[in-house]
Chain A
């Protein structure tokens, strides 16, 4: 009896956290699964008393040409800006910083980190102005005699991908800087004595040693990039048309612009499932450290 009450007393301090997480994190996730089976709308009778409509939203989702397109754009966005862009750029920067002189190192790392620390809406304005047809990029191109296109209109995906690399590389740079600092210098020196060139040392010595950092960083940047909304919404609004509508933009527009909350929720559910799968892989990789 005494043992039980002591056990209960021990977990009481967890209660506020459990309540908040259950209400505002678990609640919406459960609601998302439930709501995606209803015809919930923004206004009107279906707003307060949505009806159960089974798999209709998902059937509509598969039949809607916007959804596969948006799914594809999301894959392209995540792959090129996070998996390739931020990771390669991050590891390259981390490597370059190690062989740079101190002032250059301070300047470069401060500037890269500043783009990451800025509030997202300010970063989005800055990127919007940079890629605008009358923006800095086209002024620079005009300086060398090239008339640049209207990036946000003619190549919206390229613009948002480059903007997201600019915005997010700092995180990968920091993770890889820490990882490279832990690579024993003897290893690379030994390879160098054996006649390995720079690329060979990178491929056969450095990358295998930091592979855990690489997989963790890939997972985290993928999850972060999957949920990018503000940057794209400010730069292109998902357009022109739906040419840069990734899943978060599509879900938002369906739910709030076209008032189809149930339909938007179905898209959200797809995102939660994708995010959930990535999270489980990530947690399994970290498991030994939790136990």
Chain B
């Protein structure tokens, strides 16, 4: 999108930009820089470390503290179908559903935007860019009113399509940039042999941009998996709610007592996202792929 949204990896950027002027004073500065970084890292780590130690502590409190005895009781206590597995399954259905819809729709939309010069295309891209900026929390009250009118409240498909729509602007933008990097000459050869645009898209362009599609899919999946506010407002029955909402209900009911279980549940729910983040870094070979992909 811009030179600034790029994200070169922090690790592996030009290392040791010391230059010819390096001297003992610079070394002292470097030691200070490393120390400051370590202090920042520890203070950023502390809130997260609480989740890990509390989940393994039978008598967890709200404060970070090493448990007297490490236990997995917190995990076994929450691993029941209604408490954990059903909400995690719902989260999977919501996330995979909206990611699949988003990928298909944005590949279709990106093709004409990437391949043809259209006056309409420019306006469309402007609106898409505007959509990426729109604060979704701002529209949730009107969305609720709209869902009441359309009779879509508490409907899993309705919520899936809504989440797909809200992730479309960013996904179309990313997909178009990935598609722009596939050379058009290959398709021109296919066109002269009589293939239609859609055949060329399916047989030639898609296979070449598989990593890009994976990045978009994971990007949308991770966002939907972590989304709390949208399902919180749109899904009312507990048996339809994803983990983000059920974990909040758990917090309201038992959170003030069973910190260990809350932490264990949080870890279980966060683990897939952390795994997918590592995976997307592998695919695109850059630590900050999600931000970097936007530039294309």
- Which candidate, A64-72, A79-87, A271-279, is the interface stretch facing chain B? A271-279
Interface of B, secondary structure class, is: helix
A216 with B133: CB separation less than 8 A? no
**B262 contacts A271, CB within 8 Å?**
no
Given contacts A32-B139, A286-B2, contact A25 B131 (CB under 8 A): yes
Q: Is A40 on the interface with B (CB-CB < 8 A)?
A: yes
Is residue A199 contacting chain B, with contact meaning CB distance below 8 A?
no
Inter-chain contact B291/A171, CB cutoff 8 Å: yes
Does A240 reach chain B (CB closer than 8 Å)? no
Q: Which residue of A lies closest to B247 (CB)?
A: A121
User: Out of B13, B141, B148, B164, which one reaches A32, CB within 8 Å?
Assistant: B141
Given A121-B244, A268-B142, A271-B138, residue A129 in contact with residue B62 (CB < 8 A): yes
Q: Which residue of B lies closest to A217 (CB)?
A: B4
Q: Does A229 contact B (CB under 8 A)?
A: yes
If A98-B13, A135-B63, A213-B3 touch, whether A248 touches B138 (CB-CB below 8 Å) is yes
CB–CB B165/A20 < 8 A = yes
Q: Cβ of B273 and Cβ of A119 under 8 Å apart? A: yes
Pick the contact of B141 from A10, A139, A252 — CB < 8 Å?
Answer: A252
B residues near A272, Cβ cutoff 8 Å: 134-135, 138-139
Interface size on A, residues (CB 8 A): 112
- Residue A145 interfacial (CB < 8 Å): no
Whether a CB of chain B sits under 8 angstroms from the CB of A112 is yes
Find residues 266-291 in chain A having any chain B CB closer than 8 Å to their own CB: 267-268, 271-272, 275-276, 278-280, 282-283, 286, 289-291
Closest to A22 in B: B165
Out of B128, B142, B226, B259, which one reaches A265, CB within 8 Å? B142
Considering the complex, give the chain B residue whose CB is closest to the CB of A131: B47
By a CB distance below 8 angstroms, the chain A residues around B142 are: 28-29, 31-32, 35, 265, 268
Q: Is the CB of A119 within 8 A of B270?
A: yes
Given contacts A20-B165, A109-B287, contact A114 B274 (CB under 8 A): yes
Contact B168 A185 (CB under 8 A): no
Cβ 8 A contact of A23, one of B109, B122, B165, B270: B165
How does the 8 Å CB contact mask read for A3-39 relative to B, with 1 for contact and 0 for none? 0000101110110111011011101110110010000
- Residues B43-71 near A (CB distance < 8 A): 44-48, 50-51, 54, 61-65
Q: How far is the CA of A15 from the CA of B166 in the complex (A)?
A: 16
The distance from the CB of A172 to the nearest CB of chain B, in whole angstroms, is: 11
> B47 — which chain A residues lie within 8 A by C-beta?
115, 126-127, 129-130, 136, 166
In this complex, the interface size class of chain B, counting residues with CB under 8 Å from chain A, is 35 or more
A122: chain B residues within 8 A (beta carbon): 51, 247, 266, 269-270
**B129 beta carbon closer than 8 Å to chain A:** yes
Bound Cα distance A72, B133 (Å):
22
CB of A289 within 8 A of CB of B2, answer: yes
The minimal Cβ–Cβ distance linking A24 to chain B, given in whole angstroms, is 4
Least CB distance from B243 to A in Å reads 9
A79 to B145, CA, bound (A): 31
- The smallest C-beta distance from A270 to any residue of chain B, in angstroms, reads 9
A24-B11 in contact (CB<8A): no
What is the chain B residue whose CB lies nearest that of A186? B19
Interface members, chain B 231-259 (any A CB < 8 Å): 233, 244, 247-248, 251, 259
Are the C-beta atoms of B139 and A268 separated by less than 8 Å? Answer: yes
Indicate whether B195 reaches chain A with its CB closer than 8 angstroms. Answer: no
**Nearest CB on B from A133, distance (A):** 8
Contact of A109 with B2 at beta-carbon distance under 8 Å, contacts A118-B48, A119-B226 already known: no
B72 within 8 A of A: no
Name the residue on A nearest B266 (C-beta).
A122
A27: B residues at CB distance < 8 A: 146
Which of A47, A139, A256, A290 makes the CB contact (< 8 A) with B129? A290
Complex-state Cα separation, A196 to B51, whole angstroms: 46
Most buried by A among B13, B61, B62, B291: B62
Given A35-B142, A132-B62, verify A117-B277 contact (CB < 8 Å).
yes
Going nearest first, the 3 A-B pairs with the smallest beta carbon separation are A227-B135, A119-B226, A24-B165
Interface residues in chain B, defined as those with a beta carbon under 8 Å from any beta carbon in chain A:
1-8, 10-11, 13-15, 17, 19-21, 29-30, 33-34, 36-38, 40-41, 44-48, 50-51, 54, 61-65, 104-106, 108-109, 111-113, 116, 118, 120, 122, 124-131, 133-146, 148, 161-162, 164-166, 168-169, 172, 197-198, 222, 225-229, 233, 244, 247-248, 251, 259, 262-263, 266, 269-270, 273-274, 277, 287-288, 291-292
